[in-house]
């Protein structure tokens, strides 16, 4: 989080306002689509059912290709 300049509170807010999700290429993980500061972001999460938690693996901003 420190390298990407956001806090746990920012991450929680991004999750709260998620716009969608889909399965990740890694089995058992999910990609959450969201926005932060008008930019598109993806958060990779992994549910841990026995602990009833959702572990965040990573989060990153999507870069738009310039035409």
Q: Are strands 30-36 and 20-23 parallel, antiparallel or unpaired?
A: antiparallel
* Cα dihedral 56→62→17→29 (10° resolution): -30
Query: Which pLDDT does position 31 carry in this prediction?
Result: 97
What was the pLDDT predicted at 57?
93
Nearest to 1 by CA among 43, 53, 39, 30: 43
Q: 14 burial class (0-12, 13-18, 19+ CB within 10 angstroms)?
A: buried
pLDDT by residue (tens digit) across 7-57? 899 999 999 999 999 999 999 999 999 999 888 999 999 999 999 999 999
Per-residue confidence (pLDDT) for residue 25, from 0 to 100? 96
Whole-model pTM? 0.84
């Amino acid at each position: 989080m420190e390298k990407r300049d956001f806090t746990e509170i920012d991450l929680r807010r991004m999750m709260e306002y998620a716009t969608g999700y889909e399965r990740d290429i890694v089995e058992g993980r999910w990609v959450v689509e969201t926005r932060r500061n008008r930019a598109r972001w993806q958060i990779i999460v992994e549910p841990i059912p026995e602990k009833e938690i959702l572990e965040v693996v990573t989060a990153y901003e999507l870069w738009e290709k310039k035409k």
